[in-house]
Structure 1
Amino acid sequence: MSDEFDEFEDMGPVDFLVIEFPGNRMTGKGLPMLLDLVDRGIVRILDLVFVRKDADGSVVGMTLRDFDADGELDLSVFEGSSSGLLGQDDLDEAGAALEPGNSAGILVYENLWAAPLARELRRGGAQLVAGGRIPVQALLASLEAEEAAGGTAAA
């Protein structure tokens, strides 16, 4: 077994997010929280890429300097966050979800907190066969519908 395979065998689950910034306006409000998650060893950033969707629908990659042109937002800590996992097809797919005139950050991260569990499950022969994410908005809508129907939501 190669060392590279051993490294992947010990990894936690890997997820991605596409975060849209209307009007190409990134405030940086979530950056301290992301840095805290990294500093505490909860997640490891594998890739962080920014794209812009122009009015004609074309998707263009952006550098961190493009986002930081006004000097208000220090993104230099993320420079070099590129594992090479994301290709142009991924950027185009993420861009398809954007409204023209908006930009997005595409974040690929490893869930370090889950690595020991994932490793032991794999060693026991288990494998992940499905996964997903339920958006908070969908949970809230479901709870509101349940309440409107006269049901009670579980605490």
Structure 2
Amino acid sequence: MTTFDYGPIEFYAIGFDGDRPGPAVLAAVDDLVASGTVNVLDLVFARRSPEGELEILELSDTIDDGGAPALDLEGLAGEEDILALAEGLEPGSSAAILVVELLWAKSFAAALYDAGGAVIARQSIPAPIVNAFLSEHAD
């Protein structure tokens, strides 16, 4: 069976009001890493000032005590990626730009590859939309 060094990766822009996400964001990411669900490859923060200026902060710039977690592929999210993901940030808001390896899908990707298959399309629907739809259409 084929063994991949990395599984599929996904880029996320997680938006927040204010100039930066709170510490609960890193705690939630840490929980996903500890459970073996994801591997964090890169993490940066973007914030848009009330005047509309965009500022990009590396993870190490946001943690005062130097206790930033190690990132496997820091810099994987390039400037073009970050600008595209942060495009919709409203003035006075911020976003965590997160690049994660989907550890749960790593062996699945290898099995598909060995079988001559590959994921050719993927659609994601955010949880709030799924839950709102289901609550509206509940019997």
TM-score norm. by structure 1 comes to 0.74
Aligned to 1:118: 109
Q: Secondary structure, in 3 states, of the residue corresponding to 1:85?
A: coil
More strand by share: 2
Name the CA distance, whole Å, in 1 between partners of 2:98 and 2:131: 25
Q: Percent identity?
A: 36
Offset of residue 121 of structure 1: 0.9
Q: Which runs of 5+ in 1 are unaligned?
A: 1-5
Encode CA deviations 1:68-89: one digit per residue, 9 max, x unaligned.
45xxxx6723355544321111
Q: Report the secondary structure of 1:127's partner residue.
A: coil
1:87-102 to 2 correspondences below 5 Å: 87-102=78-93
**Whole-angstrom distance in 2 between the partners of 1:136 and 1:122:** 29
By percentage of residues, which structure has more helix?
Answer: 1
Q: How many pairs does the alignment contain? A: 138
TM-score scaled by length of structure 2: 0.82
Distance 1:37 1:145 in 2: 30
Large movers: runs of 4+ above 6 Å? none
Secondary structure in structure 1 of the residue aligned to 2:55:
strand
Distance 2:75 2:13 in 1: 17
The answer as to whether partners of 2:19 and 2:48 remain within 8 angstroms in 1 is no
RMSD over aligned CA atoms reads 2.4
Tell me the residue number matched to 1:47: 42
Q: Which structure would you say has the larger Rg?
A: 1
